[in-house]
Amino acid sequence: MKNALMIILVFTLLFLTTVPSETEVTPSISAENAVVLDMDTNEIIFEKNANQQKNIASITKIMTAIVALEQEEIKDRVLISRNAAMKEGSSIYTKPGDIYTLEDLIYGLMLRSGNDAATAIAEHVGGSVKGFAFLMNQKATWIGMNNSSFQNPHGLDEENHYSTAYDMALLTSYAMSTNSDFRKIFGTKKHLPENINYYWFNKNKMLMTNDYCTGGKTGFTKSAGRTLVTTAERNGEQIVVVTLNASSDWQDHRTLYDYGFKALEDQSDPIDEEILDFPQFIESYFDVIHRMHGVRQWSI
């Protein structure tokens, strides 16, 4: 009986001291630069060249949106200039002399990536594109985006217009946590403007196809490649994922969702609490062993 009890205790000791561990596999992604950020703590869960300064294309518009929302009333009326209406690239097809609400322009900015909307917002809020860029850089400094410089509100290639995967994740976390209008627009699948008779649908494929995605912004230029920022939530945990120059960005974000949420689950694994009680188990274990051999109780 004594030998059987000792065997049980020994095997129990071995079980508790040998914590099963999974080999952490670095996720395979196409992105040249990437980061996964815990939105609740702003701690990095995963990074790949996250602080390298790069062209970022239309994910620039995340900064445009939050600056506009913080500076002006969302129901302001905005007159579309010829400069805005003629802006090259993606568009919501404004015309000179049109009047939109700032709210509709921000929806057009974020869902359809309208460069005309970005320019109209900049002219309305900052007085000019360069005046608005000054506000963008002020906000970047305040947030702590130490490797970013903004020269325009739309993300078309321009000298000294750049950011990093980490800085864009930090910006997105800030905007999502501080501004309810931003959160709503960022996660909207479709929007009907007041002076247009058709819906604008979000270009963010993740929002349409992934149950965890809560918002995002796409981007592309030849120099930047495909850029993408998305947010996701699962079981109360929230993350920001940013990829730059990623040929398979949708799959990258699915992969990084799985990696990020698994990492957060592992951090809160209840077995950690059992390990904390390990010294108490050792004391009880040796107490039993010595009682079996007639030795008085002792402690370690």
**What are the tens digits of pLDDT across the range 251-296?**
999 999 999 999 999 987 655 444 445 555 455 555 645 555 555 4
Arithmetic mean of pLDDT, 168-195: 97
Q: Which residues are catalytic?
A: 58, 61, 113
**Band of the pLDDT at 18, cuts 50, 70, 90?**
very low
- Full-model pTM: 0.83
Arithmetic mean of pLDDT, 135-148: 98
**Band of the pLDDT at 25, cuts 50, 70, 90?**
confident
Residue 227, SS3 per DSSP: strand
Give the dihedral sign, CA 249/254/259/264. positive
pLDDT of residue 267: 85
**Band of the pLDDT at 14, cuts 50, 70, 90?**
very low
φ/ψ of 257, rounded to 5, equals: -60, -50
- List the structure tokens of 122: 């900049």
Query: According to DSSP H, which parts of the chain are helical?
Result: 2-17, 61-71, 82-85, 102-111, 115-126, 129-143, 165-178, 180-186, 205-209, 249-267, 271-276, 278-292
The residue written with tokens 């071995």 in the block is 14
Arithmetic mean of pLDDT, 157-184: 98
Q: Which residues contact 74 (CB under 8 A, 6 or more apart)?
A: 101, 102, 103, 106, 181
CA-CA distance, 230 to 213, in Å (whole number)? 7
Does 232 have pLDDT greater than 80? yes
Give the dihedral sign, CA 28/30/33/36. negative
Digit-coded pLDDT (tens) for 84-134: 999 999 999 999 999 999 999 999 999 999 999 999 999 999 999 999 999
Does 247 have pLDDT greater than 80? yes
- 28-269 belongs to which homologous superfamily? DD-peptidase/beta-lactamase superfamily (3.40.710.10)
Arithmetic mean of pLDDT, 180-207: 96
Arithmetic mean of pLDDT, 198-205: 96
Does 300 have pLDDT greater than 50? no
CA-CA distance, 204 to 232, in Å (whole number)? 13
Arithmetic mean of pLDDT, 68-74: 96
CA-CA distance, 35 to 51, in Å (whole number)? 9
Residue 217 annotated as part of some ligand binding site: yes
CB atoms within 10 A of CB 180: 9
Task: Please answer whether residues 147 and 163 qualify as being in contact, where contact means their C-beta atoms are separated by less than 8 angstroms.
Answer: yes
Arithmetic mean of pLDDT, 235-249: 97
